[in-house]
Every structure is written in C-alpha cells, then in structure tokens.
C-alpha cells in the first residue's frame, strides 16, 4: 500500500460517485468505498495500521486525504440528486388554485362545544345574558368573596393551581357571578360558561382542565320555586320533554340552602339501567339560594333582593347525551372521534 495507490482508489471512487444516477446507486458506491467491512478505503485503512511505524505518517496523511475527498464528493452528489428529484417533482406536479374542491370534507363540532352552544341557546331563550371573566383569578374573587373560608379544603394547594400567593387558575366560574353583581345592580340573569382548572389526575370522569357553566339570578322575591322551575325547564330542553327533576340537600359555602339536582334517566325513563346505575336518576348539577353574605360581598342588600345560583359541567352532560363512557376521549385530538357526532 502506497500513497499513490490510495490516491488512485480515491480517483476511482470519485468517478463512480459522479456517475451515480440516483440515491440508490450512490448508496451502492458508498458501501463499495466506505462500507464498514467491504469498503475499499476501509480495507486500505486497516492495511495502513499494520505498516511499519516509519511508513505510517505518510500513509496516514494520504489515507485521510483520500477519505476526505470521497466523503465530500458523496455529500455533494447526494445534495445534487435530491435537488434534481425536487425539481422534477415541481415540474410534474402542480395545483390549479382556480378549481373548486367539491369533495372537501366538512368539519365537525366537538361534543363539548355542541353542549355549550345548546346550554347558551336554552338560557338565552329564558332571558339570560352570557358573562365572561378572567381565567387567572385572585384569591379574593375565587374564594374570599364567595364565602369560602381560609381553612376550606378547596383552597388547598393539592386542589388548586396557584400562580402566586394571591393569583391562581380559577377553580370554577363563580367569580364571574361576583364580578357581575359588583358591576351592575339587580335584576341580574346571567350564565357564565368557561374553562376552569383543578389538580385532578385524568381518569374517565376527572380532568385537570374542564368547562363549567354557572348561572345567577338576583331580583326581588326570588324563591326556591323559581330555581326549581328554571332547572326543570333546562332539563326538559336538554334531555327531553318527559324529564323530571329532584332536589337533594347538600352544602356549598356560597349558597344556603344548597341542593344537588338529579334528572330522571333519559335512557330507561326512570326504570333503572346502566347509565343511571339502576337508580332511575342522574345527577347533573349543583344549585342553591345565594348566601346572604355573598350578596353583601356583591353589593346587594339581602333584605331586599334574593337570588339563586347553579353550576353544571358540560363535559359530564356531553358524556351523558352522547353515551361517552371515558371522558378522556374528549381530549385525545382524534378527528375520527369527532366524525361520530
């Protein structure tokens, strides 16, 4: 093995590289010259390593020069072949932007979007307006003004995403109700849809980010009967004209009295099935009469005005309406899922 022989190997390789007509042929040349086992230069390098020490410096320089020339040629030829292929593709493929695509597939609304729009439509028909508020809230609006004490579990850092000592990602849309009361005098009839956040691990029925729709009515002479009539109208509009509701006592810091609301099962008509867990009733929302202290915090005189409030989860309603067993399917970003609706 001599420097001249190494240079000759390089010249032969350069000629073969220049003659490669496509990437496949170029890869064959690369393996023939630089392949780990069968490559001509690879084998030459192994021979150089066995030569006597006095000969190795000159042979090593010649080997590195030959290998460098081949590697540069390979890279350049590969770029040329790719550019040529792209040019041929551009010449052979083109799009006529004046042609209308009558076969374009139409999009689908997400089930939660459908439910949100339906809820808004129902309550707008009852004379409600839609209110919005910030998703990054203060502790004051999210907890304090809503009569949630400092030692309440909802304030725990394990349940709430705190951004600082006083800022957090809202855990419900109730702060919008408080901002509405502070921003306008009664009568008030609003719903507050929006995203909310809690430290929940995703499972079939829990999500760290989810939607809520909360409603608020404040006026003179408001009673539990007004609350029940409103929610019965909502349940029949959403789930069917034959639905009934029942109110069960519960506790929420910002309402007194507080009630869970169940709707008669729309699958089995109350007879008992898998959807309602054989009970004939399905829990759909929480509600109650606005606590007098919350009215005071909102600048409303509880001796003159009363109010009721309610809150529901659009994800849960979507799962019930469309028979979705695992709520995580609502967030998988799979277009095939949307095609079902």
Task: Give pLDDT tens digits for 224-237.
Answer: 999 999 999 999 99
The answer to whether residue 175 scores a pLDDT higher than 70 is yes
pTM of the predicted model as reported, rounded to 2 decimal places: 0.67
Name the band, by pLDDT with cuts 50, 70 and 90, for residue 51: confident
More confident residue, 277 or 95: 277
* φ, ψ (nearest 5 deg) of residue 255: -130, 150
Query: Is the confidence at residue 261, as pLDDT, over 80?
Result: yes
Q: Which domains does the chain have, with CATH numbers?
A: 3-92 (no CATH), 111-338 (3.30.930.10)
**pLDDT for the residue numbered 154:** 65
- Residue 108: its H or E element: none
Give the closest residue to 316 by CA, choosing from 256, 280, 275, 288.
Answer: 275
Q: Is the pLDDT of residue 253 over 80?
A: yes
More confident call, 111 vs 338: 111
Pairing of strands 129-130, 188-197: parallel
* Average pLDDT value for residue range 260-286: 89
Arithmetic mean of pLDDT, 65-80 = 88
pLDDT in the model for residue 229: 96
- Dist CA 113 CA 119 (whole Å): 10
Q: Is 90 exceeded by the pLDDT of residue 260?
A: yes
Q: What percent of the chain has pLDDT over 70?
A: 97
Is the pLDDT higher at 95 or at 140? 140
Q: What is the pLDDT of residues 198-214, one digit of tens each?
A: 988 888 888 899 999 99
Q: Which carries the bigger pLDDT value, residue 72 or residue 59?
A: 72
Rounded to 5 degrees, φ, ψ at 64 are -65, -40
């Amino acid at each position: 093995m001599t420097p001249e022989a190494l240079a000759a190997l390089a010249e032969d390789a350069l000629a073969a590289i220049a003659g490669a007509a496509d990437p496949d042929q170029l890869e064959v040349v690369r393996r023939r010259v630089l392949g780990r086992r069968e490559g001509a230069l690879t084998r030459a390098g192994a021979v150089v390593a066995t030569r006597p020490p006095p000969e190795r410096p000159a042979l090593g320089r010649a080997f590195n020069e030959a290998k460098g020339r081949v590697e540069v040629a390979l890279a350049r030829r590969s770029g040329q072949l790719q550019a040529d292929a792209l040019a041929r593709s551009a010449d052979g493929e083109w799009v006529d932007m004046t042609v209308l695509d009558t076969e374009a597939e139409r999009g689908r609304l997400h089930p939660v979007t459908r439910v949100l729009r339906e809820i808004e439509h129902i309550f707008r028909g009852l004379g409600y307006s839609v209110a919005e508020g910030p998703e990054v809230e203060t502790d004051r609006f999210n907890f304090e003004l809503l009569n949630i004490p400092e030692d309440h579990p909802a304030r725990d850092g394990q349940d709430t995403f705190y951004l600082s000592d006083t800022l957090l990602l809202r855990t419900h849309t109730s702060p919008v109700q408080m901002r509405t009361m502070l921003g306008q005098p009664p009568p008030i009839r609003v719903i507050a849809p929006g995203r909310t956040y809690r430290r929940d691990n995703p499972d079939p029925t829990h999500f760290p980010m989810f939607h809520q729709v909360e409603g608020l009515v404040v006026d003179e002479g408001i009673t539990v009967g007004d609350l029940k009539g409103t929610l019965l109208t909502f349940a029949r509009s959403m789930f069917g004209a034959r639905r009934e509701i029942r109110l069960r006592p519960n506790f929420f810091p910002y309402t007194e009295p507080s009630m869970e609301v169940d709707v008669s099962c729309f699958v089995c008509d109350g007879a008992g099935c898998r959807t309602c867990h054989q009970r004939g009733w399905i829990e759909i929302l929480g509600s109650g009469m606005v606590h007098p202290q919350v009215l005071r915090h909102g600048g409303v005189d509880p001796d003159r005005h009363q109010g009721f409030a309610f809150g529901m989860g659009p994800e849960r309603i979507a799962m019930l309406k469309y028979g979705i067993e695992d709520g995580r399917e609502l967030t998988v970003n799979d277009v095939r899922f949307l095609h079902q609706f």
